Amino acid sequence: MDVVNNSEKALGGLTHLRQDGTAQMVDVSSKAVTTREATATATVRSTREVLALLGSGELPKGDALAVARVAGIMAAKKTPELIPLCHPLPLSKVTIDFRVDADSVEILATVKTKGVTGVEMEALTAASVAALSVYDMIKAVDKHAVINDVQVLAKSGGKSGDWSLGEGDRH
């Protein structure tokens, strides 16, 4: 029987793959603790009538934005349970904000920690689940709503430094 050595060097410089091509959780124990923050977005597109109901809190299921805010916060905290190679992190802050327009609602999820690895996945998970929650709350009045434009907008902290997308760089 062959013994698998979990400390094998990464394959081709990819940190989540060992030399034999199998997945591994990256060892972050030697990384410096820094304050890290990431903001991600997701957009739910619907009709003007539905977005008017959403903005006024008059949807048949109730206040969709309040429910989506809590769902997004809960999702950020559950990220390592959903994404197999994510590290559990002590999250210090999660905010979910909304921009309601005539035909869409943009969800902005910002996650912050003081740790050894970034929170981009937590921000993406929060934005995605908040969008799914909005969809769930409006599907009774619009089964054709669409979720799209899920992406990281900005990150700060860590070895790779700070960056953000400009309005023209967004998908």
Reported as a single tens digit per residue, the pLDDT across 11-36 is: 555 577 777 888 888 888 888 899 99
- Its domain, for residue 61, covers 31-156
The CATH number of the domain holding residue 103 is: 3.30.70.640
- Of 27, 136, 149, 162, which is the active-site residue? 136
pTM higher than the cut 0.85: yes
Length of the chain: 171
Whether residue 91 lies inside any domain: the answer is yes
Whether residue 25 lies inside any domain: the answer is no
Q: What is the pLDDT of residues 148-170, one digit of tens each?
A: 999 999 999 988 889 998 766 76
Cα–Cα distances in Å, from 57 out to 61, 70, 74, 138?
9, 15, 21, 11
Confirm whether 169 is a catalytic residue. no
